[in-house]
Amino acid sequence: ELGIAPVDLVAVNLYPFEQTISREGVTLEEALENIDIGGPTMVRAAAKNFPAVTVVVDPADYDWVLNKMRAGELDEKDRRRLAAKAFARVSAYDRTIANYLGSASAGWPEEQVLALEKVQDLRYGENPHQSAGFYRLGEKRGVANLTQLHGKELSYNNYLDVDGALGLVLEFDGPAAVIVKHNNPCGVGVGENLLDAYTKALATDPVSAFGGIVAVNRPVDRSLAEKLRELFLEVVVAPAFEEEALAVLTRKKNLRLLVVPDFGKRRAQEDWEVKSVWGGLLVQEFDELGREDDSDYRVVTKRQPTEQEWRALRFAWAVTRWVKSNAIVFAAEDRTLGIGAGQMSRVDSVHLAAWKAGNAGLSLKGSVLGSDAFFPFRDGVDAAAEAGATAIIQPGGSVRDEEVIQAANEHDMAMVFTGRRHFRH
């Protein structure tokens, strides 16, 4: 009637709002300028009419759509699938805008919708009978931005362990190595170089390290690669791998080698941690250790820590918050010596950590101890002193703090209260 030819195909790339707001220092004006208005309108109109119109919003779909159209094989089932993807894209786009504008409000929003984009289907979940997938939340970063250079595809459990290992190794500025098993560190070391750091980490618990995940904060060189190759490992994650190191490690067919491009970028407090419960989600700020100012730490015992003990206490405290509660870490200034994780009583975690150290042939004489929460009774302090620890770092806050401090004084131990708990579940 109006002489307008029917539209067969609508392909739209929306203004890059998500990428714009992910840049550091972006202004409100820049963000608003990148809110697309016409694009979503066209997409919705085309998607509504999918029986007669093909709508494409993802460049990854261009090739197969064009190939099918040229062959005359693009059917209504294909168009419906593309329409669903188009509505999902517009919905995610609008949610991102709403979340960005709402972030200026104080407190948690009354309504919040998370825009998730599937990265991949996983072979299975935590166990083989569970199906699973990996989804990216927001822009590419951290674990969602890794590149796999070699090995089998990553599993659900691999992703969990990589996340924990990556978070822990980023606590350290100097060369550091972390070994993680079942989302708990079983060894952490710092040193003059990565080989030195890894050797210290491995010595903590060489039995548990078998089948573990290693994260380092420097490019992997040949000397470290040769050492890594001696042990069965699931994953090695690093900022980069030197060519000679790759030549060594790729001899192990199934070993997963991962590079994280934005390795040095630590998670911010504003990053959400999300856990599912039956019927809902628990959402909290990320527990960012960098917010702590150790000038606020209080020495509560008669004896002050020595300089060497202070260095060891800071190291132990950085590791402790990445251990499942109840968490206890015996450490020197450059390595973990014994780690007690996930026990229901704190004193049992102390005993477990001490037993682990003894089992690895490591002496705890002159060591320090980190505890992720307060000691409810003096028994944990007595056990630490008996094991050989000379200083303790913990949050404090127990109704029996005075009793705990008295125990430390009786053993001539130094004790530091940080005032901040670091439970991890």
Query: Given this model, what pLDDT does residue 291 score?
Result: 61
Based on the fold, state whether residues 96 and 142 are members of the same structural domain.
no
Query: Given this model, what pLDDT does residue 290 score?
Result: 61
Based on the fold, state whether residues 299 and 407 are members of the same structural domain.
yes
Domain count, the chain: 3
What is this structure's pTM? 0.84
Q: Does residue 232 carry a pLDDT above 90?
A: yes
Q: Does residue 112 sit within a domain? A: no
Based on the fold, state whether residues 23 and 95 are members of the same structural domain.
yes
Supply the CATH number for residue 86's domain: 3.40.50.1380
Catalytic residues: 48, 182
Based on the fold, state whether residues 361 and 244 are members of the same structural domain.
no
Q: How far apart are the first and last CA of the chain?
A: 66
Q: Does residue 201 sit within a domain? A: yes
Based on the fold, state whether residues 348 and 239 are members of the same structural domain.
no
Q: For residue 286, name the pLDDT band (cuts at 50, 70, 90).
A: confident
Supply the CATH number for residue 245's domain: 3.40.140.20
CB 180 within 8 A of CB 215: yes
Q: Does residue 197 sit within a domain? A: yes
Strand partners, 134: 120
| Alpha-carbon gap, residue 223 to 244, rounded angstroms | 9
- Structural domain that includes position 324: 287-417
Based on the fold, state whether residues 394 and 302 are members of the same structural domain.
yes
Query: Given this model, what pLDDT does residue 268 score?
Result: 65
| Alpha-carbon gap, residue 86 to 92, rounded angstroms | 10
Q: Looking at 118-127, 151-160, 284-293, 404-413, which range is the least confident one?
A: 284-293
Give the list of residues 6+ apart from residue 251 with CB closer than 8 angstroms, or none.
229
Based on the fold, state whether residues 255 and 159 are members of the same structural domain.
yes
Q: Does residue 126 sit within a domain? A: no
Could you give the dihedral angle defined by the CA atoms of residues 191, 197, 200 and 204, in that order, rounded to the nearest 10 degrees?
Answer: 120
Q: Does residue 139 carry a pLDDT above 80?
A: no
Based on the fold, state whether residues 293 and 410 are members of the same structural domain.
yes
Q: Does residue 269 carry a pLDDT above 60?
A: no
For residue 5, give the DSSP letter. P
The residue among 208, 242, 259 that closes a domain is 259
| Alpha-carbon gap, residue 380 to 197, rounded angstroms | 29
Residue 178: phi and psi, rounded to 5, are: -130, 135
